Structure 1
Amino acid sequence: MHTLIVTAHPDADSYTKAVAEAFIAGLAELPGHSWEVADLFAEGFDPRFNAQDNAVFNGRSEPAADTQAEQQRIDRADRLVLVFPVYWWSMPALMKGWIDRVFTQGWAFDYDAESGVQKRLTHLKAQIIGIAGAPQETYLRRGYLDALRKQVAEGIFDYCGVEVTALTLLHPLDSAAQQAGLAQARALGQQSSEAVHQANAC
């Protein structure tokens, strides 16, 4: 199994990056698993939905080279893992722009008036790991988790046929919670690698 891990944070020493690294450490504990990291900020991905992207959406153009390169990375993957800080109840604009430009009609989904939506990414599974800036109680009381589930798990991934296997929020508000979050991220990676090991043993 091959996993693509996508992050979006301007700080190379961020907790977001540490969580992604902890997840990878869990993946690496058993053989048979490969991975690739798409650090959107470090790679300079342009999230702006431009005139060519609009033409792609309307069936008048092929995707740009950078969009096709991202689609190819996803095509190589069996699992997609998004790791991001929660901004305004959702993902950062950089990651949202990546979704806007990469998950295009004709690749992620098709639509026509007679048959409706055809989901084209049914081979792909996804995990979402959000880094929260408030206590768990606040997220539950204000509906942050439900908002992420509705916007990302349902509104984006389910629309394209991607099965979301986990949506996890980490709350690194003090040093103890930070360490607990890293341990949880590592455990999520271990669960993925163990699933591969069990599948190979069958």
Structure 2
Amino acid sequence: MHALIVVAHPDPQSLTHRVAAHLAEGVTLSDAGHSVEFADLAAEGFDPRFTAADIARHLRKGVLPADVAAEQARIDRADALVLVYPVYWWSMPGLIKGWIDRVFTNGWAYDDRPDTGLVKLLGRLPVHLVGLGGADAGTYVRHGYFGAMKTQIDHGIFDYCGARVVTSELLLEAGPNHAAAHLETARAVGRRLFDTSRRYEATDRVKVPEFR
């Protein structure tokens, strides 16, 4: 099985990158046959700007931009998609949101036509979300951020395309040793990455873990 881990953080020494690396370690330790590919959007210089070429493609009038085609090919090769990102303004960073804006195109992620309505095209894709927040759980609870983020990301993006959100983790500040705890959580997510995906396929349903 092959996992694509997409990371959006400009600092390769950040906790976000360390979490992604530990998650990948968990994947490979769980089974010698599993493989991992990293998409480091900042290091690779992915352009998140939604341009006229992207609009044309959305309207089925243009050629798919080469960088978008390359990202879609990476996802097509993957048996699981993992997004690891810091929480900026209670959502994804603009870099990873722009990646979704451009890569999850009409005709590939979903098919929306006036005569047939919406058809979800990513039903075969299990998705694992790991966000790192700079506040504690109490702040998220008081302001309703848990529900807001699940609505806009888990439901608003991935459910719209039919992709199955299997893991939805928020790693929040919780004392002086929270970084070490986050790394262990990431490794655990990696170890069960394909177990949870196979379990979903076997039962045709999934229980999304509560945010932590």
Provide the TM-score with structure 1 as the length reference: 0.93
Q: CA deviation at 1:2?
A: 1.0
Alignment-derived partner of residue 87 in structure 1:
88
Alignment-derived partner of residue 46 in structure 2:
45
The answer to whether the Cα contact below 8 Å between 2:87 and 2:131 also exists between their aligned partners in 1 is yes
Alignment-derived partner of residue 4 in structure 1:
4
- Runs of 4+ aligned structure 1 residues displaced above 4 Å come to 193-198
The answer to whether the Cα contact below 8 Å between 1:85 and 1:131 also exists between their aligned partners in 2 is yes
Q: CA deviation at 1:32?
A: 2.3
Alignment-derived partner of residue 141 in structure 2:
140
Tell me how large the CA RMSD over aligned residues is: 1.6
Q: How does 1:64-83 map to 2 (within 5 A)?
A: 64-83=65-84
Distance 1:194 1:50 in 2: 39
Distance 1:61 1:45 in 2: 20
Structure 1 segments unaligned to the other structure (5+ residues): none
Range with bigger deviation, 69-78 or 141-150: 141-150
Alignment-derived partner of residue 26 in structure 1:
26
Alignment-derived partner of residue 185 in structure 1:
186
The answer to whether the Cα contact below 8 Å between 2:166 and 2:196 also exists between their aligned partners in 1 is no
Q: CA deviation at 1:148?
A: 1.5
Alignment-derived partner of residue 153 in structure 2:
152
Provide the TM-score with structure 2 as the length reference: 0.89
Per-residue deviation, residues 128-169 of structure 1 (Å, max 9, x unmatched): 000001001111221212121111111110111100001101
Work out the number of aligned pairs and report it.
198
Distance 2:114 2:20 in 1: 40
Distance 2:8 2:63 in 1: 26
Alignment-derived partner of residue 13 in structure 1:
13
- The amino acid of 1:134's aligned partner reads A
Range with bigger deviation, 119-128 or 169-178: 169-178
Structure 2 segments unaligned to the other structure (5+ residues): 200-212
- Structure 2 vs 1, CA of residues 172 and 135 (structure 1 numbering), >3 Å: closer, same or farther? closer
Greater RCO structure (CA 8 Å; 6+ sep)? 1
Matched, 1:55 2:42: no
Name the SS of the counterpart of 1:128 in structure 2.
strand
Name the SS of the counterpart of 1:10 in structure 2.
coil
